[in-house]
């Protein structure tokens, strides 16, 4: 079985400052990795995903994430945040050879962008 | 707007009752997923259907059941409801067989409150 740990439950950050959200996973088999964002009172929206190839993945809204296999991490970064980035962010994994597509989510990180 | 619709948006019911949550996937999507989001358990995968057949199962209680109909909409049935079933229930869909590479598109959720 796989698991995901998001090390920070809340991250306050000032507008235009950089932000990094940390995600570590545990799995005995190879995984695909995802970051989703949940804005208040909405469903989840995919920010980016790592399937293979370059370990640096660029997503929507200026976000990027780096897959580090040796450290089993997939940290999310944005160089300059906006007020509109206030949301909850979820890291998720699924195993490559799974039957079906069961996403295992971390506990989420709430980002509060302050003016 | 992901294109996934869920009804109702809110549901308030009493312990012991039975409810049905409905999901319409994005046009053309063949796979449907159900997730539960609660404060104590976080986001958990419940079950996946592909073209009417169950494809993957997660931590779904025996009191819960789901199905996908020929028109590809899905229903999640929750029976003998308990206070702890209060949660946000998300439906998601993906285009094809629901392999682990596919992006899942989430609906806005149904918020269930059991009193």
Q: Sign of dihedral through CA atoms A79, A80, A82, A87?
A: positive
The CB-side HSE value for A58 (13 A sphere, CA atoms) comes to: 3
Q: State the pLDDT confidence band at B98, using cuts at 50, 70 and 90.
A: low
DSSP string for residues in A36-58: EEE-TTS-EEEEEEE-SS-SEEE
Q: What does DSSP assign to residue B39?
A: T
Nearest to B98 among A42, A96, A100 (CB): A100
Candidates A41, A58, A40, A38; CA nearest to A49 is: A58
A53 touches chain B (CB under 8 A): no
Lowest-confidence segment of A10-14, A72-76, B30-34, B101-105 by average pLDDT? B101-105
Listed by number, the residues of chain B in 59-88 with a beta carbon closer than 8 Å to a beta carbon of chain A are none
- Counting residues of chain A whose pLDDT is more than 90, the rounded percentage is 78
Span A20-36, pLDDT tens digits? 999 999 998 888 999 99
Q: Is the pLDDT of residue A98 over 70?
A: no
Say how far apart CA A82 and CA A91 lie, in whole Å. Answer: 20
What per-residue confidence (pLDDT) applies to B2? 84
């Amino acid at each position: 079985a796989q698991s995901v740990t998001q090390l920070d439950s809340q991250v306050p950050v000032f507008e235009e400052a950089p932000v990094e959200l940390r995600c570590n996973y545990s799995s005995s088999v190879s995984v695909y990795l995802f970051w989703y964002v949940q804005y208040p009172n909405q469903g989840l929206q995919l920010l980016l995903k790592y399937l293979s190839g370059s370990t640096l993945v660029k997503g929507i809204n200026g976000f990027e994430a780096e897959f580090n296999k040796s450290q089993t991490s997939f940290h999310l970064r944005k160089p300059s945040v906006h007020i509109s980035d206030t949301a909850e962010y979820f890291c998720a994994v699924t195993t490559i050879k799974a039957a079906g597509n069961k996403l295992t989510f971390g506990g989420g990180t709430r980002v509060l962008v302050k003016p | 707007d992901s294109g996934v619709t869920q009804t109702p948006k809110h549901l308030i019911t009493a312990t012991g009752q039975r409810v049905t949550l409905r999901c319409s996937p994005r046009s053309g999507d063949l796979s449907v997923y159900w997730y539960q989001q609660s404060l104590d358990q976080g986001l958990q995968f419940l079950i996946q259907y592909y073209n009417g057949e169950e494809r993957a199962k997660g931590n779904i209680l025996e009191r819960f059941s789901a199905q996908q109909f020929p028109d590809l909409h899905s229903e999640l049935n929750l029976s003998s409801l308990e206070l702890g079933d209060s949660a946000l229930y998300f439906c998601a869909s993906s285009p094809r067989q629901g392999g682990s590479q596919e992006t899942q598109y989430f609906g806005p959720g149904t918020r269930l409150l059991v009193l």
